[in-house]
Chain A
Amino acid sequence: MIQFILMVNKQGQTRLSSYYSWLSMSERVALESEIIRKCLSRSELQCSFLEFRGYRITYRRYASLFFIVGTDGEEENELGMLEFIHTLVETLDKYFESVCELDIMFNLEKAHFILDEMVMNGMIVETNKGNILRPMALLARESGKDESIFK
């Protein structure tokens, strides 16, 4: 299953992290910094997978931002995971209209909501962009209503 999904920029700064098994904060910080160091040390030509502390890491770089997925166990399909990262990015792109690092930073919770639609309990549950974004649109409409009432 998926153990964690990270977005880390090339300075090693975490932009989003979602863990599907509990790790203490110190473990998370150490894990993130070591993984990004490993990713950064690899060239474009090398493959997008690595093994680290028993995790299988799949990563993909978009401009300055690394999308990193860590899985455990034998069953996950590495290339499938790589393409999943791309779907995630395409979905974010569709939602934010050409996404960039700052979009995610300013809308951290929304990025999380999108991710939560796609991955639950460490499993990929939805890859259909329409299905992912439908609840997001509902959410926006409802909160729009709220704001009109209170403001």
Chain B
Amino acid sequence: MSGSHLSKDFFGLVKSIGESKSKQEEDRIIRNEVATLKKTLSERVGGDKKKVDKKKLKEFLVRMMYVEMLGHDGSFGYIKAVELAAATSIIHKRTGYLTCGAVLSPDHEFRFMLINQLQRDLASSNILEVCAALAGVVRLITGDMVATVVNDVGKLLTHQSDLVRKKAIIALHRLHQLDQSNISAEDLTVKLRRVLCDRDPSVMGASLCVIEKMTLKNPLPFKDLVPSLVSILKQIIEHRLPSEFDYHRLPAPWLQMKLIRILAILGKGDKSSSEGMYAILADTIKRADTGINAGFAVVYEVVKCVTTIYPNPQLLDGAANAISRFMESNNHNLKYLGVTGLSRIVKEHPKYAAQHQMAVVECLGDPDETLQRKTLELLFEMCNPVNVEFIATKLLAFLKDTNDDFLRRQLTERIAIISERYAPTQSWYIGTIIALFAIPGAGDLVDPSIAQNLMALLAEGSGEDDADEDAAMRIAACATFLDLMDSPQMTPVLLQAMAWSLGEYAYLLEGTVELGEVCGKLCKLARWPVVDMTSRRYLVNAVFKLVAQLGTCPGSAAHLIDDFTLSRDPILQQSCCEFQNLITTSNHILPSVFPVDASCEDVGADESLSIMDTYVSSAVAAGANVYSPPSDSDSEDEGGSGGDRDSKKPVFNMTPYEKPPANPHQAIMANISSSGSGVSSGTGSTSGGEQGGLGGGDEVGRQSEVGLRLSGVANVWGPDMTVKKTEPIRQQQKVTQQQPKDEGITSVTKVQEVQQKVEVKDDPGPQPLTEKEKMAMALFGGISGGTERKGENGKEFHRPNGGRKVGKTKAPPVAAPEPRQNEKTGGAEGGGGGGGMDLLDMTFTSTSEAPVVAATTGGEGGGGTTQGTGGDLLLDPFGMGGGGDDYGKGPFKYNGIQVLPLDIDTAGFGGRWGGLKGTVKLAVPNLGKRGFEGVKEFAKVAGLKVVECIEATKECILAGGGGGGEIWLVHCKIGGGGGEVEMQVKTERVEEGEAFKVWAGRNWV
């Protein structure tokens, strides 16, 4: 085709654009063109409109499209596009609609001018006009215009021409997307089903597009379509469609892909639907494997589907095979599919990763950025406790290098997730998180709670009695922070963590660095103009602590405090004034106001403020008014005269006051203002803060109310600590982190050695390894089927008790129904003994409803984790008496029917747990075995399934189902030095739980 039918002007335009060599030149041409077009337009407006040549007008619009496409404003001609849509000639009309769709923004008023024309064309007898209008509907209709065309479009679904029907269903879906009140999902679904049965394959194909989108939103109404879709797919792969649909002799590959995608959505988590498609998927993957790209695309689609639907071992093997071939290919596009396919499959089935070690390592070093990124995603998916160090190092390195905000955000999130989930040691975790904080541009993206957790971890230590370990960890953290102090760029989150840690633990560095020097550096930082106010408060607070420890006030600190008494920030100003006062008037109490390493200590509180009694009574005697506490209630008029309150002793009542915003100064100010009597407070850590975390236990009864209220306040390091209950799952991971990791762990100097470690730690085996092989080993540790040399790595993770090796965590997760969960367990296990992994996340959910559960992550191993409720647990199991047949010896029966293991995974267990109303607690002896064997034996006898055991926290969950649909979910915790198992049983009705308890009492003593 040539341009011979075009005008000279247009020909000239295209030619000059085509020949232009630079953007500038192109811009100049377009500017000229704009001037020409405007001139033409004004001439035309001036001239006789009747004689406007539509052909000229069409060309005018195409030129205007060029103007717009090349980034210049063509709005002067928009009206002409609307005008041309009304042309009689179809090609002109279509050009008019096309231009309107390309140039009119969704809020442009000209769109309304087209409604009439669209309506007329939709009703036209010329199918080309109808098609043009349908294309216009898709591009031009906005939400408030849907009602005007929806009926016309609906009617076209039964039009005699397949061209029209095909477009009508798409247009109708578009209208549904825009406004569901005029065409609801149900309406559309009914119509879709009819169109799916259309005699024309391409109309059916169009309906598949819509079905795919609709199933993504809600698969339920389409579940029954599985057999139909399977039979359509069968017809396609058996070449029953006209050969016109073939692409390179593969029958309708895009239709195949679409069908498989829909099947994947419908089969996700649905065993019975999935079973209906296994056979066709196997057939499809076999037939598609013809060695051409389109075939590989179909194969890849099947791989995606197989990893999404309810798993089938044969299909998974087939998918893994296909992935292997992609990975081994030299073609980068196929390699890309291999890597993405692999990261899909390893999520649930890590065993398949093992054979691709070298290929993955190679992809990681590939110059192709896309492949690298996909490989990073793969690494994230296959992360486990053994390879986490290597993977985190890699991700950090990429994070440092990237400029892409999108990737940066993603990597930051992922590093935080894997280091929390799989950290092998605390020191490693701290080092990684600090490194993450320190990366410019990434530190700002970190969730602030991560910093809080880091500080909590430092403060609480491992929770074991290993003080050296804790000290070493703190020293390492402080040393890292000290090194970072001189770096030019600091993120607020880094500054805050640094200030707090140095304030608390800088004294541990005594010998390597003077406290005064640290103090001076902190002062300098606090004066930085770019530091934000929150960080400044942290910094000044750290200075206070150091001054208190030093015993003298260095000049720099004195100046700083002096200056900040005039700070514009009221909180900072106040704390500086208070400190100044303290240091000048009562220097001697400083050490008790700022105690060393006491952030975890409970601050003893005398709530009655009895020391004030003498003062108060003398004041009252002297005629002062008795204090009447304000009412708790919201309504003002009721306040002041709360009856029972009047009877209280005239003391300061802490309860009614609003909780002030928690911040680092809180505790200090509280301490200062009550120096002597102190304020009641929780330990301030998330663990156990709410329950049993209250001071020495001598404050009882009504004080618990006070304790709860204040539990958030005293979080020295935790502005957010109280807010987190909203996210139980994440919280659970956090708790894990705050908790101690391992007793027998590596030396702390590791923190800075993460990098080298990767290279070093795989000691040369029998034969020397290449660099890449080493990487592969680091990477594929912990993945079953991987190299067996992991033992060397493993020794770091040995736990003294039980003598379990990390090797155990490698136990092939394949067999388990939910391997992913399994892997997680591995994480906790490998992560180390003390870890407070709490299966059911009870720390937070249970505080209100089930205060008993051994969720307190605090002192595991130390007997009686569930302080305060231990008594309940020891209830005589026989006390319930009343034994029917169900309660006799032998397996646990309910209503005469034996209870059977319930097929449920951890996620399912967690999901059901909260919904079950009946709760019964009991304790059974662990039959002389300290590990899980006793519990497993118990489960076997009782007929319960062992859903998951977590070595780290000595927790285990069991599940069983009865004949009448009853279920028993049992959460066990091995306590009492291993000799006893505390159980919490959740059931629909409490009687079912009681029955279980009675049975256990009969059978397991």
A interface, CB within 8 angstroms of B: 1, 11-14, 16-18, 22, 24-26, 28-29, 42, 45-51, 53-54, 75, 77-80, 82-84, 86-87, 96-97, 101-103, 105-109, 112-113, 116, 120-121, 123-131, 134-135, 138-139, 142-143, 146
Contact partner of A13 (CB less than 8 A), chosen from B6, B20, B206, B367, is: B20
Q: Is the CB of B23 within 8 A of A78?
A: no
* Alpha-carbon distance A129/B242, docked complex (angstroms): 12
Chain A residue nearest in CB terms to B59: A109
* Alpha-carbon distance A106/B209, docked complex (angstroms): 32
Chain B residue nearest in CB terms to A17: B69
Q: Is the CB of A77 within 8 A of B373?
A: no
Q: Is the CB of A127 within 8 A of B252?
A: yes
* Alpha-carbon distance A136/B11, docked complex (angstroms): 23
Instruction: Give the distance to chain A from B93, nearest Cβ to Cβ, in Å.
Output: 10
Q: Is the CB of B332 within 8 A of A47?
A: yes
Contact partner of B367 (CB less than 8 A), chosen from A46, A124, A139, is: A46
- Stretch from B293-301, B515-523, B859-867, B976-984 that touches the partner: B293-301
Q: Is the CB of A97 within 8 A of B202?
A: no
Instruction: Give the distance to chain B from A3, nearest Cβ to Cβ, in Å.
Output: 14
Q: Is the CB of B14 within 8 A of A106?
A: yes
Segment 32-84 of B: residues with Cβ below 8 Å from A? 58, 62, 65-66, 68-71, 73
Q: In the complex, which residues of chain B have a beta carbon less than 8 angstroms from the beta carbon of A121? A: 138, 170-171, 173-174
Q: Is the CB of A125 within 8 A of B209?
A: yes
Chain B residue nearest in CB terms to A99: B1
Contact with A along B7-32 (1 / 0, CB 8 A): 00001001001101111001000000
Query: What are 26 A-B pairs with beta-carbon distances under 8 A?
Result: A22-B106, A24-B105, A28-B71, A42-B368, A47-B335, A49-B336, A75-B261, A79-B337, A80-B257, A80-B294, A80-B301, A82-B297, A83-B253, A86-B293, A97-B1, A102-B3, A105-B14, A106-B2, A106-B11, A109-B98, A113-B94, A116-B135, A124-B209, A142-B89, A142-B90, A143-B90
Q: In the complex, which residues of chain B have a beta carbon less than 8 angstroms from the beta carbon of A82? A: 293, 297, 333
Chain A residue nearest in CB terms to B66: A108
Q: In the complex, which residues of chain A have a beta carbon less than 8 angstroms from the beta carbon of B206? A: 120, 125-126
* Alpha-carbon distance A1/B170, docked complex (angstroms): 13
Q: Given that A25-B68, A49-B370 are known contacts, is A124 also in contact with B254, CB under 8 Å in the complex?
A: yes
* Alpha-carbon distance A103/B14, docked complex (angstroms): 10
Contact partner of B300 (CB less than 8 A), chosen from A16, A51, A77, A105, is: A77
* Alpha-carbon distance A25/B103, docked complex (angstroms): 9
Q: Is the CB of B369 within 8 A of A50?
A: yes
Q: Is the CB of A87 within 8 A of B247?
A: yes
Q: In the complex, which residues of chain B have a beta carbon less than 8 angstroms from the beta carbon of A26? A: 71
Segment 186-223 of B: residues with Cβ below 8 Å from A? 202, 205-206, 209-210, 212-213, 216
* Alpha-carbon distance A52/B615, docked complex (angstroms): 72
Q: In the complex, which residues of chain B have a beta carbon less than 8 angstroms from the beta carbon of A142? A: 89-91, 128
* Alpha-carbon distance A45/B333, docked complex (angstroms): 9
The verdict on B371 contacting chain A, using a C-beta distance below 8 Å, is yes
Q: Given that A126-B166, A135-B131 are known contacts, is A79 also in contact with B23, CB under 8 Å in the complex?
A: no
Segment 284-305 of B: residues with Cβ below 8 Å from A? 293-294, 296-298, 300-301, 304
Chain A residue nearest in CB terms to B245: A128
Q: In the complex, which residues of chain B have a beta carbon less than 8 angstroms from the beta carbon of A1? A: 213
The verdict on B163 contacting chain A, using a C-beta distance below 8 Å, is yes
* Alpha-carbon distance A134/B161, docked complex (angstroms): 12
Q: Is the CB of B301 within 8 A of A77?
A: yes
Instruction: Give the distance to chain A from B421, nearest Cβ to Cβ, in Å.
Output: 23
B interface, CB within 8 angstroms of A: 1-3, 6, 11, 14, 17-18, 20-23, 26, 58, 62, 65-66, 68-71, 73, 88-91, 94-95, 98, 102, 105-106, 127-128, 131, 135, 138, 163, 166-167, 170-171, 173-174, 202, 205-206, 209-210, 212-213, 216, 244-245, 247, 252-254, 257, 261, 293-294, 296-298, 300-301, 304, 332-337, 340, 367-371, 373, 406-407
Chain A residue nearest in CB terms to B370: A50
Q: In the complex, which residues of chain B have a beta carbon less than 8 angstroms from the beta carbon of A83? A: 247, 253, 293-294, 297
Q: In the complex, which residues of chain B have a beta carbon less than 8 angstroms from the beta carbon of A17? A: 69
Instruction: Give the distance to chain A from B611, nearest Cβ to Cβ, in Å.
Output: 63
* Alpha-carbon distance A14/B407, docked complex (angstroms): 27
Contact partner of A80 (CB less than 8 A), chosen from B68, B297, B367, is: B297
Q: A75-B216, A127-B254 are in contact. List 17 more A-B contacts (CB 8 A).
A: A12-B23, A22-B106, A77-B304, A78-B336, A80-B254, A80-B297, A82-B333, A83-B293, A106-B2, A109-B95, A113-B98, A116-B98, A121-B171, A134-B163, A138-B127, A143-B91, A146-B88
Q: Is the CB of A80 within 8 A of B1?
A: no
Q: Given that A77-B297, A77-B301, A143-B89 are known contacts, is A48 also in contact with B202, CB under 8 Å in the complex?
A: no
Q: In the complex, which residues of chain B have a beta carbon less than 8 angstroms from the beta carbon of A22? A: 105-106
Q: Given that A75-B261, A109-B62, A139-B90 are known contacts, is A48 also in contact with B333, CB under 8 Å in the complex?
A: yes
* Alpha-carbon distance A146/B88, docked complex (angstroms): 9
Chain B residue nearest in CB terms to A55: B406
Instruction: Give the distance to chain B from A139, nearest Cβ to Cβ, in Å.
Output: 6
Chain B residue nearest in CB terms to A129: B244
Q: In the complex, which residues of chain B have a beta carbon less than 8 angstroms from the beta carbon of A96? A: 1
* Alpha-carbon distance A24/B293, docked complex (angstroms): 35
Q: Is the CB of A146 within 8 A of B91?
A: yes
Instruction: Give the distance to chain B from A72, nearest Cβ to Cβ, in Å.
Output: 12
Q: Is the CB of B18 within 8 A of A135?
A: no
Instruction: Give the distance to chain B from A135, nearest Cβ to Cβ, in Å.
Output: 6
* Alpha-carbon distance A47/B366, docked complex (angstroms): 11
Q: Is the CB of A131 within 8 A of B244?
A: yes
Chain A residue nearest in CB terms to B301: A77
Chain B residue nearest in CB terms to A11: B21
Chain A residue nearest in CB terms to B174: A121
Q: Given that A79-B300, A79-B333, A139-B128 are known contacts, is A127 also in contact with B247, CB under 8 Å in the complex?
A: yes
Instruction: Give the distance to chain A from B735, nearest Cβ to Cβ, in Å.
Output: 31
Q: Is the CB of A125 within 8 A of B216?
A: no
Instruction: Give the distance to chain B from A140, nearest Cβ to Cβ, in Å.
Output: 8
Chain B residue nearest in CB terms to A32: B71
Q: In the complex, which residues of chain B have a beta carbon less than 8 angstroms from the beta carbon of A120? A: 135, 138, 167, 170-171, 206
* Alpha-carbon distance A101/B131, docked complex (angstroms): 27
Q: Is the CB of A106 within 8 A of B166?
A: no
Contact partner of A112 (CB less than 8 A), chosen from B89, B98, B244, B368, is: B98
Chain A residue nearest in CB terms to B105: A22
Q: Given that A77-B301, A120-B170, A135-B128 are known contacts, is A126 also in contact with B202, CB under 8 Å in the complex?
A: yes
Q: Is the CB of A128 within 8 A of B244?
A: yes
* Alpha-carbon distance A49/B293, docked complex (angstroms): 14
Chain A residue nearest in CB terms to B207: A125
Instruction: Give the distance to chain B from A42, nearest Cβ to Cβ, in Å.
Output: 7
* Alpha-carbon distance A50/B66, docked complex (angstroms): 27
Instruction: Give the distance to chain A from B98, nearest Cβ to Cβ, in Å.
Output: 5
Q: In the complex, which residues of chain A have a beta carbon less than 8 angstroms from the beta carbon of B17? A: 13, 105
Q: In the complex, which residues of chain A have a beta carbon less than 8 angstroms from the beta carbon of B174? A: 121
* Alpha-carbon distance A14/B68, docked complex (angstroms): 11
* Alpha-carbon distance A49/B209, docked complex (angstroms): 23
* Alpha-carbon distance A22/B141, docked complex (angstroms): 13
Instruction: Give the distance to chain B from A51, nearest Cβ to Cβ, in Å.
Output: 6
Q: Is the CB of B244 within 8 A of A130?
A: yes
Instruction: Give the distance to chain A from B693, nearest Cβ to Cβ, in Å.
Output: 43
Chain A residue nearest in CB terms to B138: A121
Instruction: Give the distance to chain B from A143, nearest Cβ to Cβ, in Å.
Output: 4
* Alpha-carbon distance A29/B26, docked complex (angstroms): 13
* Alpha-carbon distance A129/B73, docked complex (angstroms): 35
Q: Given that A77-B297, A120-B167 are known contacts, is A51 also in contact with B370, CB under 8 Å in the complex?
A: yes
Q: In the complex, which residues of chain A have a beta carbon less than 8 angstroms from the beta carbon of B102? A: 18, 112
Instruction: Give the distance to chain A from B109, nearest Cβ to Cβ, in Å.
Output: 15
Q: Is the CB of B3 within 8 A of A53?
A: no
Chain A residue nearest in CB terms to B166: A125
Q: In the complex, which residues of chain B have a beta carbon less than 8 angstroms from the beta carbon of A29? A: 71
Q: In the complex, which residues of chain A have a beta carbon less than 8 angstroms from the beta carbon of B65? A: 108-109
Q: Is the CB of A84 within 8 A of B370?
A: no
* Alpha-carbon distance A120/B333, docked complex (angstroms): 26
Q: In the complex, which residues of chain A have a beta carbon less than 8 angstroms from the beta carbon of B26? A: 13
Q: Is the CB of B89 within 8 A of A46?
A: no
